[in-house]
Structure 1
Amino acid sequence: MNAQDLKNSILQLAIQGKLVKQREEEGTAKELLEKIEAEKKQLIKEGKIKKQKELPEIQEDESPFDIPESWEWVRLGTVCNIINGFTPSKSNPKFWNNATIPWFTIADVRSQGRFINYTEQSISEEAISKNSDRIVPKDSILLCCTASVGEYAYTNIALTTNQQFNGLVIKDEYGGVVHPMYVYEFAKTLKRTLLLQAGKTTINFVSVKKVSNIAIPLPPLEEQKRIVAKIEELMPYVDKYDVAYSEVEELNKKFPEDMQKSILQYAIQGKLVEQREEDGTAEDLYKQIQEEKKKLIKEGKIKKTKTLPEITEDEIPFDIPENWKWVRFGDIMINRDSERIPLSVSQREKLDKIYDYYGASGVIDKVDKFIFDEKLMLIGEDGANLLTRSKPIAFLAEGKYWVNNHAHVIDCGDYIHLEFVMYYINAISLAKYVTGTAQPKMNQANLNSIPVPLPPLPEQKRIVEKIEELLPYAKQLIKW
C-alpha cells in the first residue's frame, strides 16, 4: 500500500463513520436537517426566499455503504449551491484589462496545491456582468467536472472559475449544519463517481445537475469537525510513511528478488544502522544478562537451565561488527513454556470468546480466561509453517491471552529488545533446528541452541526502529 492508497483508506473510513466515534450528545444529522427545513418553510411563507425545486429522494441503491444511525444521506445540491464557471472571451480586452477578480483554472492547483490563496489570472467586473460567470465565495470547494475530472481544491479567497470547475458553496441556511472542510474531504473521494457520471463526449463532462444529485453522507456538525481534525492529525504520519515507502521502493530496486528478506538480512548483520562507540559492547551486555539471570534463579523466578556449549566457528553464518557478540538463544532469552496450557476444541466450545487463544502461527480462537498479561514473544514449535514460512515463525502477543503447547513462550529481561530477536528469528532459516517431516517440530533444546548476533541494547532499538520505518507491514509482522 503506497501513501496515496493509505490516504484513500483514511478518507473512506472517514466518510463511512469509522474514523471517529459517534457521540450521543452531538445529536443527529436528521434533527439538524428537520430544523433547517422548518426554517426554510417559514422564510418561504414570509416571502423572504423563493421556493426551490426539490431534489429527488435518495434511493436505497444510491447508498454505496452503510453509515451510522446518527448520519443522513443527502444530495450535494441540497446543502450546496453549485456554481459553474465560464471563460470570458479572450478577444475582448475589457474582460481582461483592469482585472481585479481572481479567475481560477487547473494551473492554480498545479502551481500552489489544494488550498488556493491567489490565482495566476484575473478578470474584470465587466466580464462578470456580461457573462454567466459568478463569484465563488471564500471557504468553498472547487470541483473539476470536465477534462481533468476529479481535481479539487479549497479556496481561501473569493474568486471565479473557468468552465472546468464548479464551485460547491455551502448554502447560507446550511452554514450551521455543514462544515466546508468536511465537504472538501468528501470531494477527495469523488473522482470515480464523477467519471461514472461523465457524459459520452470527446472529453469527460459532468453536468451541474449530476453533481447536484450526488449523495453525500452527512454526520452531525460536531462530528464533521472531529472527522476533519482527525484527518489533519493523521496526514503528517502519512507523509512520513510516504518517505519510508520511497526508501522501500529504492531498496526494492537494489534487492529485487526479496526486498523484505534483504532488509532483515542487512539488519541482523549490522549493516542497517551505524554502530556508535557510546553504545558500549555486546560483551558487556552479555555479562549483565548472565548476572541478571543468576539473580532471577536465586530468587526462584526462573529455573536454572543446562549450560549451552560455546559457539564454534563453523556455526557462524556471517560476520558481525566488532562490538557485537555471537550468543546462544537460550543464554539470553527466558523460556516460559511450562506455563502453557492446551485446551481442546471441545473445551473451548464451552467458553465465552473474550481473550485471544494462540497456537503455533497466531490466534486460532478465543477463550474466557487468560494465562499471560504482558508482551511476550511466541515462536511456533511445530507445524508445516516451520519449513514453508507462509506466516512469521516468531510474533508478539500483548494484553491478556492464552497460549497452547504449540508455541514457545519467550520472555527477556531489560537487556534485550524483544522485537530485535523476533526479526532475527524471522530472517533466518530454521531448517537445521527442525526435526521430523510429516510433523515438523522445533523443540526447546534446538531453539535454545540457535546462534544469535547480539548488538548493544541501544543499537538493537535503532535497528528495530529502522526496520519498522522501511517495512510498511513490519507492525503487522510484530502483532501477527
Structure 2
Amino acid sequence: MEKKMSKIDELLKNEKVEWKKIKDVFEIRNGYTPSKKNKEFWENGTISWFRMDDLRKQGKILRDSKQHITEKAIKGKGLFQSGSIILATTATIGEHAMLIADSLANQRFTNFNICKSLKNKLLPKYVFYYFDVIDEWCKHHTKVSSFPAVNMDALFELDFPIPSIETQEKIVKTLDKFTNYVTELQAELQDRTKQYEYYRDMLLSEDYLNKISEKIDGLENKGYQVRFTTLGEIGVFTRGNGLQKKDFISKGKPVIHYGQIYTQYGFETDRTISFVSDDIFSKLKKAKFNDILIATTSENIEDVGKSVVWLGSEEIGFSGDMYSYRTVENSKYLAYYFQTAEFQKQKEKKVTGTKLIRIHGDDMEKFSIPIPPVEIQEKVVEILDKFQSLLADTKGLLPQEIEQRQKQYKYYREKLLTFGVESDNTHTHTHE
C-alpha cells in the first residue's frame, strides 16, 4: 500500500489545480417527462429517456434506455449531449451516470454538460469520476419537503477542480482499473442469477410440474395433473393500514413497512427489523406464520408486487401500500411462482400509474396460478430452496469481493480527487 501511495503522492506532487464554481464549469439543465397523454411523444420512439430504473439495471454508463421518446417530445435546448452527466437531485439523491449517446432523462435528474470554453480542459471520464465526490456532497446537503431535494443553490457554488489534462488521464487510468474489475464481478453475479431464474421458471411450468408428479413416490400411478386456479379462490388478501416510519421505536411489537420489502428483506424472514408501541400495533392489520406480504406500490413495474414470506412465530403488523395473502396452499410455492416470467406478464397487464406504479388486491385475486398436489408443491420448494441457497453462497462470495474492490476504489478516488485540500471558496490550490 505504501508503494502505491508513493506513486499517488508523486502523481499529485506540486500539481496546480484550477478551481471553478460548478455553475461556471457546466451547462446545467433539468430533466422532464413528456406528457404520457400525447401518443406522438412516445409511440415508436427511438430516443433514450432515462429513469432511475435504468441506472439500477445498467449501472453508471448509459447508452440505451428501457423507455424511448420521439423527436416531437424534445423541447427547449434539445437533447442532453453524449459525454454529459445526469445526477439524481430529487427523491433518490446522490447517484449519477454518464450518457454515451444523445438522450434525455426524467425530472429526477439534472444534466451537467461541460461548457464549450472548457471542453479542451476537462476529460468527460474525469468529470464522471469526480461526480462520485459530488454524490456524497449531495447526500448531506438536501432540503426536505414532500420529498428530499438537493440544495441546488449551494451545489451551483460548489468548487470543481481542474488539474492538467495529463493528470486527469492518469487519474482516469488508475480508477478505470478498479471499476473494470468490479464490472466483471458484477457481470458474473448477474449470469448466475439469470441461470437460477431460468431453472426456476422451467421448474414452475405446467409441463414440468406434471413430469414431477410422475416421478414422486406414491403419485406416479395416480394420474395427477396440474390444475389452474386464481389467487382469489385459494386465499385471502388483506390490505395494510396506518404504519409510518416515524412510528418506529427500538423495541416493541414487530412490524414491516412496504418499503422495507424492497430494501431490507429477501424471499423469506422470521424476524422484523422494525418495531412499534403496543398502541400503534393494536391499530394495524396483522400477518401470521406462512402469510405472504406483498408490496403494491413501486417506482417501476418490475418491482411492484415483490413479496416476502413471513415465517416468524408471532403476529406482525404491516403498513399501507401492501397486502398480506393467507392461503391453504404452500406459501413458499406461491411466492416462488410470483417471481416467474409468466406471473410478471399477468401483473404487467393490471398495473396502474406512470410515475408511481400500483397494483390492487381486486386484480391480484384474478391472477391465474398452476396448483399441483401438495406433495409436488413441497418438492418444488425443496428444490428451489437448494437453488436459492447455492445462489446465496455465490452472492455472498462475489459481493464480498466486489465490496472489497469498491472500498479500494473509494480509497484511491479520495486520494486522487481531493488534491490534498478540502473544497473551499478559492479557485487555485497547489498540492504540496
TM-score range, shorter chain: 0.3 to 0.5
Question: Given the two structures, how large is their TM-score scaled by the length of structure 2?
Answer: 0.40
Name which structure has the greater RCO, CA cutoff 8 Å, separation 6+.
2
Q: Which has the larger radius of gyration?
A: 1
Question: Given the two structures, how large is their TM-score scaled by the length of structure 1?
Answer: 0.36
